[in-house]
Chain A
């Protein structure tokens, strides 16, 4: 589904690269959780996959196609992503309806038909979040709190169903109750639609509860990669031990 070959990314020449020759294969329907300390290269890796950053060397293959040189908007037809930064997930000066309508066109060409025709369908989608946000459908999204906007950004990333979903701490701005709801919503959506997913988290509990593969990154390198039954056997203590061995705080 997704293959990364020798991906290296520098931000400043003559310094240590943020990503050091990363090799990764993610199969169809796999749900990977990435753990790692700040600066370990997790977000950069997701941005290289989405096309937001171009790798300095290496190859990105998506569904058998070499997409290394493809732009962000071309890759967006197959990839849905939620950024850690709330301001990078939605367009402030547009309403919820406009934002979600925009996201729904991602996988196809926009048409000369009124986007308001989809209002009922979009209200139904917002209701699925269970956060009572549907009443704001015609409200400017900037009037919503950071957490509410992040929830809408998650909905937007998943609608329409992407082939690959990239979640970069997509619940970081949410209160515990809303976080629970969004985690459960994304988890069931991913499982029901068999969406290949890569999720970044700082929560060991989430790394245990979600996904069928765990990747730990440190200093731009994949230090640990476990999946299947091995992953399901992981406990908080074993993950802490792994992190301690690697040498990076979470």
Chain B
């Protein structure tokens, strides 16, 4: 079991570093805006699908990633507009959008999966091999955490946090709640799309099903991080997704090494979420 664990730890770490970006994307609306958003279920695979399709079409992998991430952010804006304009429940607005985006993903890909093995990708150019890939992903994570932490310490970031903590009082202080919700859902889903795009480039293929149940994985990772380091400061809020994702992915590795089938992992994820809720 130990040998298996050591063997799968680096790839678990790599997946954890990708998951961390997605979890940050889920955390932004959930924790900072108090807006439970399920759009990641659509924006994460959209990032992957668009990125793969654009690479196949001959675009540079970095440009493909940027376009895919922006498109995923726009899906977040659509969720925000549905919520604001039609007063639809936040969860329902996310479900509607992610369901619609599934069809868009299939359209973009043209088929349920696309192989990218023979095509250029970001990691082929700048980081060949697992260690450089981990370092690259680590740098991307640090940049995201640093940017988010800095933003939350600015006046704009303070207004952003106030939107989620107490919208009524925030409004009294001139905070435009709708603008922050739109911006927050754009940022959150752009991160989700970025994670999807990075995943397809690293694994060398895109699959229409990568988003299925992804929000519950993200929530499990987020809750592990929050349980371990807390949420009572901006720094802790920013780092919790990173810590939680790494540990969550390694826990999955432990479960696999202990003999659990990959199909049992969703059961484990649900149990982790329930366990943390029970411990609160």
A residues apposed to B, CB below 8 Å: 50, 52, 71-74, 76-77, 81, 88-94, 98, 101-103, 105-107, 110-116, 156
Contact = CB atoms under 8 A, between A and B. Distances in A.
A73 B165 contact: no
29 contacts: A52-B172, A73-B170, A73-B171, A73-B174, A73-B175, A73-B176, A74-B174, A88-B168, A91-B162, A92-B165, A94-B165, A98-B158, A98-B161, A101-B155, A102-B158, A102-B173, A102-B175, A105-B155, A106-B174, A110-B154, A110-B158, A111-B154, A111-B156, A112-B156, A113-B154, A114-B154, A115-B155, A115-B158, A116-B153
Contacts of B171: 71-73, 76
A111 B155 contact: yes
B89 interface: no
A73 B177 contact: yes
A91 B155 contact: no
Interface in B154-191: 154-159, 161-162, 165-166, 168-177
A195 B162 CA distance: 27
B38 to A, nearest CB: 24
B177 A101 contact: no
Contacts of A74: 174
Interface residues of B, number: 22
Interface string B172-213: 111111000000000000000000000000000000000000
B169 A89 contact: yes
A116 B153 CA distance: 8
Contacts of B153: 114-116
Give the interface SS of chain B, mostly helix, strand, loop or mixed.
helix
Interface of B: 151, 153-159, 161-162, 165-166, 168-177
A91 B170 contact: yes
A105 B162 CA distance: 12
Nearest to A110: B155
Given A76-B172, A103-B173, A92 B154 contact: no
B171 to A, nearest CB: 4
A102 B156 contact: no
Contacts of A98: 158, 161
A114 to B, nearest CB: 5
A101 B156 contact: no
A237 to B, nearest CB: 38
A206 B165 CA distance: 35
Nearest to A112: B154
Given A101-B155, A110-B155, A110-B156, A94 B162 contact: yes
B71 to A, nearest CB: 25
Contacts of B159: 102, 105, 110
A77 B176 CA distance: 11
Given A94-B161, A110-B156, A110-B159, A81 B174 contact: no
Given A91-B162, A93-B165, A76 B156 contact: no
